[in-house]
Amino acid sequence: MGKFDNGFEGSIALVTGGASGIGRATAQKLAEAGATVIIADRNEALAKASAQEMGVEAAVFDVADPEAWQDVVSGIKARHGGLHLAYLNAGIMTYRAESPGTPRPGFDLAAMPDANYRQIMGANVDGVILGARTCIPLIAESGGGAIVATASAAGVIPFPPDPIYTATKHAVVGFVRSLAPLLEPQGIGCHAILPGVVDTGLLGEGTADKARSLGVPVIAPEEIADAVLGAAQSPKTGGLWLCLAGRPPSRYAFNPVDVLGIPKPE
Ligand SMILES: NC(=O)c1ccc[n+]([C@@H]2O[C@H](COP(=O)([O-])OP(=O)(O)OC[C@H]3O[C@@H](n4cnc5c(N)ncnc54)[C@H](O)[C@@H]3O)[C@@H](O)[C@H]2O)c1
């Protein structure tokens, strides 16, 4: 029997990147379902405002910081006694618009500053791996639950507008697929969410409207939130939940590759 078979009432859930977009929509749904929710975000003002509006707790930190992870998870254990769901969702693109209304610059690998590279690897890769490392022991001692990470459709397809972003999301997909069987004996499900284009601040000013005008379907963050709750409740671990507009989330499957001695994932 899975931890969330009867819903999320009474469970403790941590949502990174929970101050806005997909994370915020998921935190809201978890809170409505009766979970105690902690949103984690490095944007202090937005995290505090969102937490207050949703009646949840806020933890302000950078998910790339291993020490901050230790402090936050110890604090959750001390205050709430356990943890059941870690939704590792915080993420950025290589060049982010620094303030609302500022257009996002185009991708230019040769001119990419080190700071941008470190920041995206920190948020998108370290944030997931360090988060899983820190949360797994507490989830296990709390009787099991789930790790869910936000990858992207760009975790399984090429996405030339941002090859670094694409690399980070492929990393999340490989991490989740490989970690899932290791966590199963502890009663911890492990899944990745692979959204298409979602209407959030990540896209940059005007991008959602531009996408719509080009006929690219844009998804509401609430639909992705439903997929996150569904993944956490899935009886079969290791799901790569592709979320495309107008379709229910579906499990993406790779072509199997026969490699001597390494078990097939599916
Ligand atoms: N919007 C899309 O089209 C789309 C598509 C596929 C995947 N995703 C992924 O969804 C996830 C959520 O993004 P979103 O679209 O909701 O964007 P968003 O910008 O609305 O939300 C991301 C949140 O993460 C926080 N954050 C970023 N880096 C952080 C860090 N290092 N430490 C702590 N918090 C940090 C930001 O402050 C922000 O509140 C990301 O991983 C993103 O890559 C988004």
Residue 140 maps to which CATH number?
A: 3.40.50.720
Average pLDDT over residues 148-165: 97
Tokens of 224: 């992705």
Question: Which range has the worst mean pLDDT, 21-30, 85-94, 108-117?
Answer: 108-117
**99 has a pLDDT exceeding 70:** no
CA–CA separation, 15 and 18 (whole Å) = 5
Q: How high does pLDDT run on average in the chain? A: 94
Average pLDDT over residues 244-266: 84
Ligand 1 centre distance from Cα of residue 17 (Å) = 6
**179 has a pLDDT exceeding 90:** yes
| Burial tier of 93 (Cβ tally within 10 Å: 0-12, 13-18, 19+) | buried
92 lines ligand 1 (CB under 6 A): yes
> Phi and psi for 33 in degrees, rounded to 5?
-85, 0
Q: What is the pLDDT of residue 97?
A: 60
The answer to whether residue 103 sits within a structural domain is yes
23 lines ligand 1 (CB under 6 A): yes
The answer to whether residue 154 sits within a structural domain is yes
The answer to whether residue 226 sits within a structural domain is yes
126 lines ligand 1 (CB under 6 A): no
The answer to whether residue 140 sits within a structural domain is yes
Cβ atoms within 10 Å of 69's Cβ, excluding its own: 24
Question: Which range has the worst mean pLDDT, 67-76, 78-87, 97-106?
Answer: 97-106
Which atom of ligand 1 is found nearest the CA of 119? 31
Query: DSSP strand E in 80-227: where?
Result: 85-88, 145-150, 188-195
Q: What is the pLDDT of residue 259?
A: 77
- Percent of the chain scoring above 70 in pLDDT: 96
Respond yes or no: is residue 95 known to be catalytic.
Answer: no
Which atom of ligand 1 is found nearest the CA of 127? 31
The answer to whether residue 249 sits within a structural domain is no
In the chain, how long is the greatest CA-to-CA distance?
Answer: 53
| Long-range own/partner contacts, residues 106-115 (CB < 8 A, 24 or more apart) | 106/161, 107/160, 107/161, 107/162, 107/163, 107/164, 109/163, 109/164, 112/164
**Closest among 43, 80, 82 to 61, alpha carbons compared:** 43
Q: What is the pLDDT of residue 106?
A: 82
- Domain holding 231, by residue range, is 12-243
CA–CA separation, 146 and 187 (whole Å) = 8
Ligand 1 centre distance from Cα of residue 213 (Å) = 23
User: Quick one: how far is CA 160 from the chain centroid?
Assistant: 21
Looking at the structure of the chain, the number of domains it has is: 1
Q: What is the DSSP letter of 113?
A: -
The answer to whether residue 78 sits within a structural domain is yes
| Long-range own/partner contacts, residues 107-115 (CB < 8 A, 24 or more apart) | 107/160, 107/161, 107/162, 107/163, 107/164, 109/163, 109/164, 112/164
83 lines ligand 1 (CB under 6 A): no
**266 has a pLDDT exceeding 60:** no
Atom 7, ligand 1: residue with shortest CA distance = 152
Ligand 1 centre distance from Cα of residue 93 (Å) = 8
Cβ–Cβ under 8 Å, residues 173 and 192: yes
- Ligand 1 pocket test target in 200, 207, 212, 240 with most atoms within 8 Å of CB: 200
Average pLDDT over residues 72-93: 98
Ligand 1 centre distance from Cα of residue 107 (Å) = 18
Name the strands in the sheet holding 250-251, side by side, starting at the edge strand that comes first in the sequence. Answer: 57-60, 36-41, 12-16, 85-88, 145-150, 188-195, 240-243, 250-251
- Percent of the chain scoring above 90 in pLDDT: 81
59 lines ligand 1 (CB under 6 A): no
CA–CA separation, 30 and 15 (whole Å) = 10
The answer to whether residue 143 sits within a structural domain is yes
| From 87, 117, 165, 252, active-site residue | 165
For 190-231, write each residue's pLDDT tens digit: 999 999 999 998 887 778 888 889 888 999 999 999 999 999
